[in-house]
Structure 1
Amino acid sequence: MKASSPPNSMENNQKDKPTEGKKGKAARPLFRRVHEAVKRPFFACCNPDRVVCLTAQTDALDDPEARPVPGPFRITQRCPVCLPGQVCEDPELPSCVPGSSGIKHLDPERVPDSPSLNLCDTEPDHVESQFVPEEESLPEQDQVSADLESVPVEEGPSEIEQEPEDVVLPGSVSGSVSGSEQIVSEAASDTEPEPEIELPQGSIVSFYEVGHLIASGKFSKVYEGTHVFSEKLKVAIKCIPKRRADRYLDIAGHCKPVLAEVALMLRLGEAPSCPNIIQLHQWLEDESSFSLIMEYPEPCRTLEDFILFSGPVSEGQARLFMLQAVQAVKHCSERGVYHGDIRSGNILVTLHTLQLKFIDFRCARLITSEGFKSSEYQGSDAYTPYEVIRQSVFHAEAANVWAMGVLLFEIMHRYLPFDSFDEIQHGYIRMDPTLSTACHDLIYRCLSRNPAHRLTLEQLEEHRWMKA
C-alpha cells in the first residue's frame, strides 16, 4: 500500500487555519467591550487623560453615619478636600487649610470621633462655633424650713452668680454662683494685683513705734503700735496700700475727698460714739498708702476664734454678744452707714470683759433709699443674703438682720448654717434640738428668704429671746 502523500496533509492544515482565525476575530469585540466598560468610570470619553470629579450625593446627608464629625470650631471657607459624608460644592477653589496638599483621605470607618477635628464649611468668610456647652442641671434641694419662705423674685445681675465651674464659701465673691459652689473664709476681692506695703518693725508712725504684725489680709496689714512716751498706750496701726479701685468721699473739714473707709469711720466716731465699734484716733496719707491709727483692746481675739477655741457658748453668753452686735448695727444705721461685711471674723472680743467691737469698714457704704446693686455686694459669701443672689437690688437693714441670724447660728453651733450658695437658696437649717424654742424662732425669722417677712432691727431687739 502506498503511504499518504505529504501534500494532502498540508492541504488539511491550511483548511483548519481559517476556522481558528474566525474564532479569534469573533472574541476580540467581546474583550474590547469588557475593556471599555472597565475603564469608563475612571476616564472621560472625550479626554482619557483627565480624571472625572464625581458629584457628591446630597441624600447621603440624611444618613447619620455619613454626617461630618462635630468639632468646637468650623472653618467656613470652601475646601476641595472633603471628609467622608461632607459636601464641597466647588472643587476648583483653593484649600481653606494652610498646607492642605498634605491632607490625607481618611477611611470613613476610621474617622476619629474627636471634638477637635476641624471641618470645612460651604459658607465663605464666616466663622462660627459648632460646640454649644450644655447647661448643667442642679439637683433639687429641700427648702430651708416652713419658716423660711420662698417667694418669686426677679433675677438680677450679680457678681456672685458665677459660671458653674468654681468658687467656694466662706470667701470672695467672683462671678456667677451656681450650683455647688463652696464657701471660703475671706471677703470679696478685686482681680487687680495688690501692692505690697509693709511697715518695718521699730519704725515710727506719728507718735507710735511699729511693733509686731497682728493680722495680715489681702487689702491691708495691721501692726501693734506703742506710744513713744508711754509704753502702756497701745494702738493698732492699719497700713492700706493705695489702689485704683479705692473709693473716696467728700466730708466736711477736708479740702479733698477722703478714703471711704476713713470717712465713714470718722462719721461713726462722732459723739455720741458707740463702744461696740472700733475707734479711729488718727490717720495719715502718703504717696503710696494710708495709715490708720485705731484703738487696740488688749487682750482680744476675733469672735470667730473665740467661738472655735473657747468651747461651747451658752445661750446667756450668746445673748450678751447679740445685744452688743445689735447695738453696733443700730448705731451704723442711725449714722447712715452700712458695714457691708458683718461676720464673726470682723468682730473683736475683749477677753476680760467680753465686750464686742466691730472692725474693718473697708466694704462700708452710705445707706440710700434705693438700696444697693447686688453685683456690688462685697461681704463674705457665708453671710450672703438670699436676695443678693436672687434679686438685682438689696437693702441694708434686711441684709443686716440676715447677718445677725447667721451670726447667732454660728455662735450657738460653732459652724455656719450654709455651706454653699445652693444651700442659701434651697437648703434647710439643721438646728441643735437642745436650744430653746425662742432661740430657734429668732434664727428662723432672721433667715426668712423673703426680706419683707424678715424681722426688722427693732423687732430683733425686742424678740422674747433677747429679753429673756
Structure 2
Amino acid sequence: MNTVLARELLCRKVASSLAAVRRSSVPSLACSVDTLASSFGGSLACRPSEGGRRQRGTARLRASSVLLPVAAVAAFAAAPPAESSASRQETAGALLQKGAVDAAPAVHLAKTITDAYKFDDADRVVVGTGNRSQVFTARHISTGQLVAVKQMSRRRSSQGQWEEEVRMMRAAQGHRNCIRLLDSMEDEAGDSFYIVMELAQGGELFRRLQSHGRFTEGEAARIMAEILQAVEHLHSQGVVHFDIKPENIILRHGDSMIPEVMLADFGSAFSKNHVTGSRDYTAAYSAPEVLLRSCAIDEKADIWSMGVLMYVLLSGRHPFDTHLHQDDEEVERRIVGKEPDYNAHAMRHVGPVAKDLLRRMMSKDRRQRPSAKEALSHAWFSAVAPLASDVECVAHC
C-alpha cells in the first residue's frame, strides 16, 4: 500500500471516528480530535459546539486540552450510550487505564474529591476565602503531597465559571511565576467544584505588606519583575488576568527575605478573543476604562493594576488613598477623576526613575501604557539592582 493511499485511509478513519464522537455525549471533544486529525494531513473543519457552553452531565473527558488517539476515539465512539454519570466515569476511566487518553491535566475522574485527597483536622487549613470560594490545604492520598484546594460552591458558581477558570489556568501553565494547576474535578455527589493547585508556603503578598510595611526599591523591583514576566506570559497566550492585587500574589516560601512570588486566582481571567458575561473585579485596582465601561477591556487593564501594585509596594499606601474611602463609588470617582500623588510623604524615598514608570503604567489613556514587555525594559529595573543587601522591608512611615 503506497503512502498516499495509507494517508487517505487514515484520514477517512479519523473522519468516521470524529463523526461518531460528535454524535456521542462528548461534543466538546470535536475540536480536539480535529486538531489531531490535522496533524495527519486531514482537512476536517473544527466546528464550535452549539451554544458555546458545555452542559452539565457530559462525560468527564470534557477538558479542552485532552486529545484522543484515533484508536481511543473509535473505542469511545463504539461504546454503548451512557445512561448515568457513573457509567460515563467507568468508560472514561477504562480509557485512561489503557493509556488511550493524553496525560495532560484534565477534569479528574474520581467520583468525589475524597477519593483522591484527604483533609482531616491535621491537614485542612483555610488559606483564603472569596465571594464564591474557599481555599484550604489537603493531602494527596497516594503521594502524601500537601496541596491547595479551591472549593467553589454550586450555589454561587456555575459550571461554566469553573471550567473557564480551569482553562485560563491551563493557559498560564509553564511559567514559574504562575501558580501551578495540579487537578480539577467536580463532586456530583455534593455541591461543589474543585481546583487543586500547588501549595505556596509563604502566604499572600498582602499579609507581608501588613506585617512588614513598604519595600525598598530593590525588593519592589524584584517582585515587579517576576509578576510582570508572569503577566507577559499570560498576555502572549491571549489571557487577561483582570484581578491583579496583593491578595492574588502569593509567596512561594515563607522564610525568605527575597520573596519569590506567583500570580494566582484566575477566577476573573478571560481570553482577549472571547469575552462573555460579566466579570468580578476589585475597584481599587481597576483601570478607569473598566470602571467607566468606556471601551473593550484588554491587557492594558492589567498594566494599570500593576502600576497600582508598584505604588503600594513602594509606599505602603494606595495611590488613591482607598483606605480612607470604604465606599466603592467614591473609590471609583477618585480613580477616574484624580491623579496619584507622586510627591506624597509616603513616596519621599522613591526615586524619579521609579516614578516615571509609575506614571506610564497608571496613565488614564490606556494607549499610553506600556505592554508588560515594554515595562520590563524600563530603566528602573536596571537602575535598581534587586540584591539581597537591599531587600529588607522598611518600617511603614
Residues 376 and 292 (structure 1), Cα distance of their counterparts in 2 relative to 1, 3 Å cut: closer
Q: Does 1:454 align with 2:358?
A: no
Greater Rg by CA: 1
Return the alpha-carbon distance in structure 2 between the equivalents of residues 223 and 391 of structure 1: 34
2:181 is aligned to 280
1:206 is aligned to 116
1:379 is aligned to 281
Q: Could you say what secondary structure the match of 1:259 adopts? A: helix
- Paired residues for 1:159-238 under 5 Å: 204-210=114-120, 211-229=124-142, 231=144, 233-238=145-150
1:422 is aligned to 333
1:291 is aligned to 194
Root mean square deviation, CA, Å: 2.3
- Paired residues for 1:7-156 under 5 Å: none
| 8 Å CA contact retained: 1:222, 1:236 | yes
Structure 2 runs not aligned, ≥5 long? 1-112, 323-330, 384-397
The Cα of 1:245 is off from its aligned counterpart by 5.8
- Paired residues for 1:431-442 under 5 Å: 431=342, 432-442=347-357
TM-score by length of 1: 0.50
Structure 1 runs not aligned, ≥5 long? 1-202, 250-257
Map Cα deviations across residues 155-212 of structure 1 (whole Å, 9 max, x no partner).
Answer: xxxxxxxxxxxxxxxxxxxxxxxxxxxxxxxxxxxxxxxxxxxxxxxx9351443422
Residues 228 and 456 (structure 1), Cα distance of their counterparts in 2 relative to 1, 3 Å cut: closer
Give every structure 1 segment of 4 or more consecutive aligned residues whose post-TM-superposition deviation is greater than 4 Å.
none
Residues 209 and 421 (structure 1), Cα distance of their counterparts in 2 relative to 1, 3 Å cut: closer
Return the alpha-carbon distance in structure 1 between the equivalents of residues 151 and 210 of structure 2: 28
Return the alpha-carbon distance in structure 2 between the equivalents of residues 391 and 286 of structure 1: 36
Residues 277 and 340 (structure 1), Cα distance of their counterparts in 2 relative to 1, 3 Å cut: same
2:242 is aligned to 340
Q: Could you say what secondary structure the match of 1:218 adopts? A: coil
The Cα of 1:217 is off from its aligned counterpart by 2.2
TM-score by length of 2: 0.59
1:261 counterpart (165, 170, 175): 165
Return the alpha-carbon distance in structure 1 between the equivalents of residues 149 and 115 of structure 2: 8
Return the alpha-carbon distance in structure 1 between the equivalents of residues 294 and 334 of structure 2: 19
| 8 Å CA contact retained: 1:209, 1:228 | no
Q: Could you say what secondary structure the match of 1:332 adopts? A: helix
Return the alpha-carbon distance in structure 2 between the equivalents of residues 304 and 244 of structure 1: 25
Q: Whose helix proportion is higher, 1 or 2?
A: 2
Return the alpha-carbon distance in structure 2 between the equivalents of residues 336 and 415 of structure 1: 31
| 8 Å CA contact retained: 1:223, 1:238 | yes
2:358 is aligned to 443
Return the alpha-carbon distance in structure 2 between the equivalents of residues 438 and 417 of structure 1: 17
Residues 266 and 458 (structure 1), Cα distance of their counterparts in 2 relative to 1, 3 Å cut: closer
Residues 391 and 262 (structure 1), Cα distance of their counterparts in 2 relative to 1, 3 Å cut: closer
Amino acid at match of 1:448: S
Amino acid at match of 1:235: V
1:185 is aligned to none
Return the alpha-carbon distance in structure 1 between the equivalents of residues 207 and 170 of structure 2: 28
Amino acid at match of 1:441: D
> Does 444-453 or 283-292 show the bigger shift?
283-292
Return the alpha-carbon distance in structure 2 between the equivalents of residues 327 and 357 of structure 1: 10
